Amino acid sequence: MDTYAVVGNPVAHSKSPFIHARFAQQTGRIMHYTALLAPLDGFEQTVLDFRKTGGKGMNITVPFKFEAFTLASRLTDRANAARAVNTFRFEEKEEILGDNTDGVGLVRDIEVNLNFPLAGKRILLMGAGGAASGVILPLLQQQPGLLAIANRTPDKAASLQRQFASHGNITTGHYHDFAGQRFDLIINATSASLHNELPPIPADLFQSASLAYDMLYSSKLTPFLELAKMQGTEHLADGAGMLVEQAAESFLLWHGIRPETQIVIRQLRDHLRHPAS
């Protein structure tokens, strides 16, 4: 049987095995998809060991997306632009194809599932890690009115600005640099919610926003979404839709078929509410 895995640290929270099992059922594929915890200094070894046992492909999650970029021997254009990889396809002659499906997953969730067109919108992206890096090009391609990146370590945001300079204008800084500014959409691409923490968001930043989007998915509101709700943001969304959409793109890369996502998003939400389902 073909085997696939999501690799990360931590990884126990990942719902990718749940999603890919639903996709396999839906499309009649026989496959096994598991979650692998890699030691922080043992990503490459974990990937190579999995491949040796016959693994066909992997998803890569926090904090290994940059290391995955380095490990890939061939890259899709979007992974090359992001310099971050969330999908491996193991190929002949030891080749590892690296792709990044996070951006297309996020944009599809926001524009199609949430019906929130991005053209002309003022967007604040919080975080400058692997997830942020993967979504910048697809966000710029929707021609927003402004794309700003705030990060706890501002140098990393500035480095993303230089990396994507040929694709569009990006403003960067620390969180406090954006105090008093108006944004239509605020996206949390930090891993703070994973630890039940909140990035140092300036007071009232959410008041003008109509959508607050946390890439983390959870059965309850994350601290980021709680704050947005308290400050009156009209629409709140977590990353469940993005997760299913990016998984569908990975599934397409591996199997040549894009599964139906709406039903799996509903199944995932039910599962998050009732984990035994």
Cβ contacts of 150-156, under 8 Å, gap ≥ 24: 150/124, 150/125, 150/126, 150/174, 150/175, 150/177, 150/178, 150/199, 151/126, 151/127, 151/190, 152/190, 152/199, 152/200, 153/128, 156/128, 156/129
With respect to ligand NDP, which residue has the nearer C-beta, 20 or 65? 65
Q: Which lies closer to ligand NDP via its Cβ, residue 75 or residue 106?
A: 106
* Residue recorded with tokens 């690799």: 7
Per CB under 6 A, 205 contacts ligand NDP: no
Q: Is 102 in the site for ligand NDP (CB under 6 A)?
A: yes
Only segment of 40-48, 127-135, 218-226, 265-273 that touches ligand NDP (CB under 6 A):
127-135
Residue 112: CB atoms within 10 Å = 13
Among 47, 137, 160, 215, binds ligand NDP (CB under 6 A): 215
Looking only at residues 22 through 61 of this chain, which bind ligand NDP when binding is defined by CB under 6 A?
none
Applying CB under 6 A, among 6, 243, 264, 265 the residue interacting with ligand NDP is 243
Stretch that binds ligand NDP, among 42-50, 72-80, 92-100, 242-250 (CB under 6 A): 242-250
- Looking at the DSSP bridge assignments, the partners of residue 89 are 57, 97
**Whole-number Å distance between alpha carbons of 54 and 51:** 5
C-beta of residue 147 within 8 angstroms of C-beta of residue 125? yes
Pick from 32, 152, 229, 269 the residue near ligand NDP by CB under 6 A.
Answer: 152
The residue from 239, 250, 261, 265 that contacts ligand NDP (CB under 6 A) is 239
Q: Which is nearer to ligand NDP, 145 or 195 (CB)?
A: 195
Closest C-alpha among 50, 92, 43 to residue 64: 43
129 binds ligand NDP (CB under 6 A): yes
**Helical segments of 77-173, H only:** 77-82, 102-108, 130-141, 154-163
Smallest separation (angstroms) from ligand NDP to the CB of 266: 16
Q: Are 218 and 268 in contact (CB under 8 A)?
A: no
Q: Does 246 bind ligand NDP (CB under 6 A)?
A: yes
| 93 tagged catalytic | no
Q: Which of 20, 65, 78, 121 binds ligand NDP (CB under 6 A)?
A: 65
Contact between 174 and ligand NDP per CB under 6 A: no
At which residue do the structure tokens 């696939």 appear? Answer: 4
Contacts of 149 (CB under 8 A, 6+ apart): 124, 125, 126, 127, 128, 132, 136, 157, 160, 161, 170, 171, 172
Rounded to the nearest whole angstrom, what is the least distance from the CB of residue 94 to ligand NDP in the complex?
26
Q: Which of 65, 121, 156, 229 is catalytic?
A: 65
Q: Which residues bind to ligand NDP, rule: CB under 6 A?
A: 62-63, 65, 102, 105, 127-132, 151-153, 156, 189-194, 197, 199, 215-217, 239, 242-243, 246
Query: What are the catalytic residues?
Result: 65
